[in-house]
Amino acid sequence: MIKEFRDFILRGNVIDLAVAVIMAGAFGGIINSIVNDIIMPIIGVILGGLDFSALSVQVGSATVAYGKFLQATLTFVIIAFVLFLIVRSYNRFLKKKEEAPAAPPEPSVEEKLLTEIRDLLKERK
């Protein structure tokens, strides 16, 4: 069972998935910074100094912080859009790669030798 688990962990797909999760976490931090530190302040200035993170409504003794929800939603939309662009570019790359005609392989040494023999036999006739 331990050997099977080790083989499972060392399989390329699991390693690739672990790297992807770590990269996504780092990417999420970058996107959060872009949204919170660049985009939302600009939108706030455009809307007259509105700070989305401070938007909230008091309902009884509970505070509904819908501004944080708006920021999280905008962050999600930006991440989804960037991923869309990445996948779209990747699919276009694959499509171009499939459309490109493959160059015929160079004849092997045996094929070259057989061609020479054929040509010599033609010359004798």
Q: For the domain that residue 94 is a member of, what is the CATH number? A: 1.10.1200.120
Q: Is the pLDDT of residue 6 over 80?
A: no
Higher pLDDT, 108 or 104: 108
Q: What is the pTM of this model?
A: 0.53
For the cut 80, the answer to whether the pLDDT of residue 7 exceeds it is no
Q: Using the predicted structure, report yes or no on whether residue 50 has a pLDDT greater than 80.
A: no
Mean pLDDT of the chain: 82
> Could you tell me the residue range of the domain that residue 109 belongs to?
2-124
Domain total of the chain: 1
Please give the pLDDT value at position 100: 67
Nearest to 107, CA basis, from 98, 94, 95, 116:
116
Nearest to 77 by CA among 106, 29, 35, 46: 35
